[in-house]
Amino acid sequence: MNKLQKVLRKRSKKLLNIYLTAGYPNIDNTLDILYALNEQEVDLVELGIPFSDPLADGLTIQQSSEMALKNGMSVERLFAILKMADSDRLPPLIAMGYLNQMIQFGEEQFIKDAKDSHIDGLIIPDLPMDIYQRDYQDLFRKYDMGISFLITPETSNKRIQSALELSNNFLYVVSSSATTGGKGGFSLSTMDYLKAVQRIETEIPKLVGFGIHDKTTFEAAVKYCDGAIVGSAFIRMLQKSNDYHKDIATFVEKIRT
Amino acid sequence: MSYNVDDKGFYGQFGGAFVPEMLYANIEEIRVNYRELLKEKNFLSQFNALLKDYVGRPSPLYFAKRLSQKYQTKIYLKREDLLHTGAHKINNTIGQILLAKRLNKTRIIAETGAGQHGVATATVCALMDMKCIVYMGEKDTIRQALNVGRMRMLGAEVIPVTSGSRTLKDATNEAIRDWISNPKDTHYIIGSAVGPHPYPDMVAQFQSVISKEIKTQLLQQTGSENPDYVIACVGGGSNAAGAFYHFLEDKNVGLILVEAAGKGVETDYSAATSVLGSIGIIHGSKTLLMQTSDGQIIEPYSISAGLDYPGIGPMHAHLITSGRAEVFACTDQEAIKAAINLTRLEGIIPALETAHAFAMLEKRKFDSGDTVVLNVSGRGDKDINTYLNNIQYE
Ligand SMILES: Cc1ncc(COP(=O)(O)O)c(C=O)c1O
């Protein structure tokens, strides 16, 4: 059982997954930020591999990706940085990237290098489930690489079942019909949706993403699901921060307590 | 080998629907409906009536005598430039607005590069009383300012896109993000034969009226319904898809695509996807696209806003890689020269996009007996400023 799976098995806890765009705000501090998040005992971290055309992302993550690319971040560079990391100080890691990046790097090489870089799971939002099954599932198995598929309020029951069958880390529950980066509170229909998601029976944890930006939205998500992913709000905090260590501690504490 | 789309939405290895789950339901709704709809009598009679009475179809097929003399072959021009709103784009928007109505959508979004698709979308939205939002790269709103004015007059909201390169690719990203956020009431009218399945096929079918008419008109004018060659410019590939559609499986008909070389394929300023591109995913479709070794999509360049796209429709990626179609790349300057040439020989000012197709005539010799059909995808009114700024009159 890898580090990530151990954390995901602890279902009693409200899992906090922080999203970070790799290479933002600088290439040099990606590892430092990961170490700091680990010190705060964040349960897992989703590293966004910056992409020029992130379709599913709102303005904050778009801009952080653009900046990270300007800083010189790339798939190759990211893997090189992570391979040099002190793995004991890294939190459990998953990576989020778009399919084009994986194809261009070479799919098998990508999965292998990701694994060697302490990444135990991938999220590839534009990889359809049927293509995954046909072309990639064996490769993921070969390298013990996990994957999480997304469901949204529009996803049919049949597709939810497929997503559950194929996902082996956690199920990614998109809170509402929107791109990432929502700042408001949850609407009644989002709450109803999360209640419905609670009733889905599954072995794997359900993590809610999109629009989780403060204690209120985090609490609302974990009331019905097993954890939540905080992304844009974390990036916005980094944008303003002069002291990562202190501000990351405060940020995590504010969401958790 | 078939050159049309297969059951799963692929043209050979290209195509498919590589979309995030947030878009799945929208795309699926269209996929399960469009084939039926395109066979339905009621729908077809509405579509055809609008094409005839509102758009002005059939567009003429005109034998260009002086141009033919110059190039020592027989050149016929398919005059899509004479349609309502001035380009082939309206064929597709008429079809898609009828589809949107059928799916009970009340809000239409679109992307646009040259503004022709934006104008064609704003037009059908006015006609059908639908709310219309058009995403347009900020850079394009400047070089195609006239079309921005037309869209606004037609009642559309034009949103300048400031992300990325501020051109067509980014406008498409923004439209897709809008659709993710508004899945229930909104239909996205894509303007070219690009995007996730079923868009490339649906757009090709709505545009296929072009090659259907070419067959009938050629038969009347020459006694044979098939030309030796069909030439079309390609941005995403909708006018080419329409002009090729009924000739795809007929190998006696040569298909010729013309891309924008910008300042030259060897420079960093080009949009010649077939030369500079490699296989990848753009806007939900597996196709040829211009990208770095890291898989980042490259900003293309062309003087023509409608050809300034880093990808190419999956049908065309398949036609090119399988050798079914020939492909040429023409530069900004070659296109401008070709536009002047056409204007002076035939009294037709083509769109800058179309001018690239004419520029190809300088690059390949045809036999004197060949029948060559060139699809005049649009007229040049929107480009007059660019032409005037680039032409030195003796
Ligand atoms: C007149 C004209 N021709 C061609 C194009 C290129 O698009 P496509 O390749 O889809 O025909 C455009 C796009 O804006 C256009 O306006």
- Min Cα–Cα distance to chain A from B50, Å: 34
Query: Residue B392 — pLDDT band, cuts 50, 70, 90?
Result: confident
In chain B, pLDDT over 70 holds for what percent of residues?
99
Residue A43 lies inside a defined structural domain of this protein:
yes
For ligand 1, say whether the CB of B192 is within 6 Å of any of its atoms: yes
| pLDDT at res. A183 | 84
Please provide the CATH number assigned to the domain covering B58-87+203-390.
3.40.50.1100
Mutate to test the interface with B, among A49, A52, A136 (most CBs of B within 10 A): A52
- Give the tokens for residue B296: 């980042």
Query: What is the number of structural domains in chain A?
Result: 1
Which of these, B178, B173, B111, lies nearest to B144 by C-alpha position? B111
For ligand 1, say whether the CB of B87 is within 6 Å of any of its atoms: yes
Atom of ligand 1 nearest to the CA of B238: 10
Which of A52, A128, A149 has its CB closest to that of B297? A52
Which of A53, A128, A174 has its CB closest to that of B169? A53
- Give the tokens for residue B216: 């009938």
For ligand 1, say whether the CB of B236 is within 6 Å of any of its atoms: yes
Residue A8 lies inside a defined structural domain of this protein:
no
With CB atoms and an 8 Å threshold, state whether A154 touches B24: yes
Which of these, A230, A231, A174, A179, lies nearest to A206 by C-alpha position? A174
Here the ipTM equals: 0.95
- Give the tokens for residue B177: 């993000």
With CB atoms and an 8 Å threshold, state whether B20 touches A178: no
Query: What's the gap in Å between B286 CA and the centre of ligand 1?
Result: 20
Give the C-alpha separation, B1 to A219, whole Å. Answer: 56
| pLDDT at res. B393 | 65
Give the C-alpha separation, B259 to B330, whole Å. Answer: 6
For ligand 1, say whether the CB of B233 is within 6 Å of any of its atoms: yes
Q: Which residues of A are catalytic?
A: 46, 57
Residue nearest to atom 12 of ligand 1 (CA): B306
Mean pLDDT across chain B, nearest whole number? 96
| pLDDT at res. B394 | 52
Which of B24, B181, B293 has its CB closest to that of A179? B181
Residue nearest to atom 13 of ligand 1 (CA): B306
Give the C-alpha separation, B236 to B207, whole Å. Answer: 13
Give the C-alpha separation, B309 to B163, whole Å. Answer: 15
Q: Are B324 and B255 in contact (CB under 8 A)?
A: yes
Give the C-alpha separation, B15 to B18, whole Å. Answer: 9
Domain spanning B11-50+89-196: CATH 3.40.50.1100: yes
Tens digits of per-residue pLDDT, B319-353?
A: 999 999 999 999 999 999 999 999 999 999 999 99
DSSP E strands, chain A: 15-21, 44-48, 93-96, 119-123, 146-147, 150-151, 171-174, 206-209, 227-230
Query: Residue A182 — pLDDT band, cuts 50, 70, 90?
Result: confident
Phi-psi category of residue B155: left, alpha or beta, with phi > 0 → left and psi -120 to 50 → alpha: left
pLDDT at A253 over 60: yes
Atom of ligand 1 nearest to the CA of B239: 11
Give the C-alpha separation, A148 to A17, whole Å. Answer: 13
Mean pLDDT across B346-365? 98
For ligand 1, say whether the CB of B113 is within 6 Å of any of its atoms: yes
| pLDDT at res. A178 | 84
pLDDT at A257 over 90: no
Tens digits of per-residue pLDDT, B117-144?
A: 999 999 999 999 999 999 999 999 998 8
> For strand B285-289 and strand B10-11, is the pairing parallel, antiparallel, or unpaired?
unpaired
Q: Which residues of B are catalytic?
A: 89, 111, 377
**Chain A CB contacts of B282 below 8 Å:** 53, 100
Residue A1 lies inside a defined structural domain of this protein:
no
Mean pLDDT across A96-120? 98
Give the C-alpha separation, B271 to B290, whole Å. Answer: 8
For residue B259, the cross-strand partners are B329
Mutate to test the pocket of ligand 1, among B190, B192, B288 (most ligand atoms within 8 A of CB): B192
pLDDT at A13 over 90: no
Query: What's the gap in Å between B366 CA and the centre of ligand 1?
Result: 25
For ligand 1, say whether the CB of B271 is within 6 Å of any of its atoms: no
Give the C-alpha separation, B75 to B68, whole Å. Answer: 5
How many alpha carbons lie under 13 Å from residue B142 in its C-beta half-sphere?
7
Secondary structure letter of residue B64 according to DSSP = -
Query: What's the gap in Å between B140 CA and the centre of ligand 1?
Result: 14
Which of A76, A102, A151 has its CB closest to that of B21? A151
Beta-carbon contacts below 8 Å between A and B: 105
pLDDT at A102 over 70: yes
Which of these, B305, B270, B309, lies nearest to B289 by C-alpha position? B309
Mutate to test the pocket of ligand 1, among B203, B307, B381 (most ligand atoms within 8 A of CB): B307
Query: What's the gap in Å between B237 CA and the centre of ligand 1?
Result: 7
Domain positions in chain B: 11-50+89-196, 58-87+203-390
Residue of A nearest to B297 (CA): A52
Residue of A nearest to B280 (CA): A100
In this prediction the pTM is 0.97
pLDDT at B99 over 60: yes
- Min Cα–Cα distance to chain A from B111, Å: 14
Query: Residue A185 — pLDDT band, cuts 50, 70, 90?
Result: confident
Q: Which of residues 152-191 of B touch A (CB under 8 A)?
A: 163-164, 169, 173, 176-177, 180-184
Query: Residue B51 — pLDDT band, cuts 50, 70, 90?
Result: very high
Which of A98, A149, A179 has its CB closest to that of B180? A179
Mutate to test the pocket of ligand 1, among B112, B238, B330 (most ligand atoms within 8 A of CB): B238
For ligand 1, say whether the CB of B83 is within 6 Å of any of its atoms: no
With CB atoms and an 8 Å threshold, state whether B294 touches A174: no
In chain B, pLDDT over 90 holds for what percent of residues?
95
Residue of B nearest to A62 (CA): B163
Q: Which residues of A17-38 are buried (b: 16+ CB within 10 A; e: fewer)?
A: bbbbbbbbbebeebbebbbbbb
Mean pLDDT across chain A, nearest whole number? 95
| pLDDT at res. B337 | 97
pLDDT at A12 over 80: no
User: Which CATH number characterizes residue A143's domain?
Assistant: 3.20.20.70
Map tokens 């890291």 to a residue.
B294
Q: Is B149 on the interface with A (CB under 8 A)?
A: no
Domain that holds residue A36: 14-256
For ligand 1, say whether the CB of B120 is within 6 Å of any of its atoms: no
Q: Which residues of B13-43 are buried (b: 16+ CB within 10 A; e: fewer)?
A: ebbbbbbbbbbbbbbbebbebbeebbeeeeb
Q: Are B339 and B330 in contact (CB under 8 A)?
A: no
Mean pLDDT across A39-63? 95
Residue A7 lies inside a defined structural domain of this protein:
no
Topology agreement, domain B11-50+89-196 and domain B58-87+203-390: yes
Tens digits of per-residue pLDDT, A60-81?
A: 999 999 999 999 999 999 999 9
| Cα angle: A82, vertex A32, A27; to 5 degrees | 65
